[in-house]
Amino acid sequence: MKRNKKDSIIKGAIILTIAGLITKVIGFLYRIYMSNLIGSEGMGIFQLIFPVFMICYTICCSGLFTAISKLVAAQRASNNTKNMSRIINTATFITLVLSLILSIIIYVFSEFISYNLLKEPRTLLSLKILAFTVPFTAIGSSVKAYFYGLKKTFIPASSQLIEQIIRVAAVYLLASTFIPKGLEFACAMAVIGMALGEIITCFYVIISYRVSIGKNTEERCSNYNSYRKIANNIATIAIPLTANRVLITILSSVETILIPSRLQLFGMTHSNALSLYGMLTAMAIPLVMFPSVFTNSLSLLLLPAVSEASAAKNKNTIKHTTSKTLQYSLLIGIISTCIFIVFGKPMGTRIYNEPFVGNLLVILAWLCPFIYLNTTLASILNGLDYELITFRNNTIGLGIRIVFTIFVIPIAGLKGYLWGLLVSSLIITLLNLIKIVKVTTVKFDISKWLLKPIFAAVISSILISYIYYNYIQYLTGSLLILFANCIILALIYIIILIYFKCIPRKDLGNVKRSI
């Protein structure tokens, strides 16, 4: 039975990873296309919309997503299909009501938000379009949470692909009409693409859910809970979690909105500040986050898996799962750091035709181990019902970043923000890691998790960078060749790790058996 559960997590992670990789690739092609269409200033304006979207998402979806996933996983253990249906029905009704209220607020106060909060009038049209998107995003998120609770990842994974394809197709078809009208309409075009993707994928996951429950009409348990009790159970998990995450999202939004204005105090014009902001948030950071597709896949499945093990008081399963996820998150983070240090500058030039993006990638590379590791640490803590700990630690980290944003950016420019990002990521990761080690008693293997992987990554980087910069770079400037070198570097790294027994053959066997 344990093997089956382990294999289901690995198989689910593989499905999510493959879908995530394809989605990321399409997303980067989309970003390259968008950056060429509207430039870095346009990308900066577009990014200003996301704080509003994320606040809405957090209120409508964040806590409810976790609640649905955990409660469905618990009912799955007892094969109670009736309760699972009631959970999703109750949660969907709640999220629909919340999302409709927020949609009305955004639409009615869109002018106030664009002029006074975002301080960018060209976001007005985009905000009005965004208002219609929120209910579809909220309902789709709830249904996806149901599938994650069942560890059925195909529907959520395929919905990511569908959403990305629709977004790209919509922008491609609308570009000739919207781009000539200026950056306000260009950004609105991007939001329309996002809205169409959310709407269609919402209907897709709803239909998939109806088909799924249609195949399993047998009631395996007659002891089901009332809708009132289910609503109370959802509220018990979702309300404190949502309140915590709303505060974090607001702080993060404040930070995001402050960056362009603080860059102006450094001496930049409004246009240059938006351009630099666009390079950072819409070009460099998404590229650095690309490898996180591996850790994100694990994190989405860790929450129900750890919750189920915690409910069964299976400490050995929790310890083993925690140990493996921490190890592989670190392995991914270490090699990602080396790849962006070695190839960051040519990536910025070849992908976005912006050399400064390459400089940002080299600096942001040092964040990779902390960002990727913290994703899995947060999921484990949430699965063990330590949401308040992750909230506290994230609040501390955001507080540090806001301090750097307010006081250091006007003195040091964008470097001030990057310093704050590094310091906050390090502190959040250390605080979460200390709690995880204390709770799960997992042992941190410095040799296999840190020292040997760093050695393997350095050796791989020196070898491939020497060949690339001394020979290949002068023969071709192809982006595909650049990515091929990144993959070769990663493969050499993996081979060395297998030789050092940092990756046990047993783990490779588990992956092979799950494919």
List the chain pLDDT tens, one digit each, 515 residues.
444 555 556 666 677 777 778 887 888 788 888 888 888 888 888 888 988 998 999 999 888 988 898 888 777 766 777 788 889 999 999 999 999 999 999 999 999 999 998 889 999 999 999 999 999 999 999 999 999 888 788 898 899 899 999 999 999 899 888 989 988 999 999 999 999 999 999 999 999 998 887 665 544 444 667 788 889 988 888 888 888 788 888 888 888 889 999 999 999 998 899 899 889 988 899 899 888 887 776 666 665 667 667 667 788 888 888 888 888 889 999 999 999 999 999 999 888 888 999 999 999 999 999 988 988 888 888 778 787 898 899 899 999 999 999 999 999 999 999 999 999 999 999 999 999 989 988 888 899 999 999 999 999 999 999 999 998 887 777 888 999 999 999 999 999 999 999 988 776 665 555 55
Residue 499 Cα distances to 234, 335, 452, 465, 493, angstroms:
47, 16, 10, 22, 10
Q: How crowded is the C-beta side of 154, counted as CA atoms within 13 Å?
A: 4
The vertex-444 CA angle with 439 and 447, nearest 5°, equals 180
Is the pTM of the predicted complex or chain greater than 0.75? yes
- Of 160, 50, 67, 86, which Cα lies nearest the Cα of 387? 67
Instruction: Name the residue among 159, 66, 49, 55 with its Cα closest to residue 98.
Output: 55
Euclidean distance between CA atoms 376 and 369, whole angstroms: 11
Dump the DSSP string for 216-281. Answer: ------S----HHHHHHHHHHHHHHHHHHHHHHHHHHHHHHHHHHHHHHHTT--HHHHHHHHHIII
Count the residues in the chain.
Answer: 515
Chain mean position to CA 119: 27
Q: Domain spans of the chain?
A: 1-217+224-241, 289-515
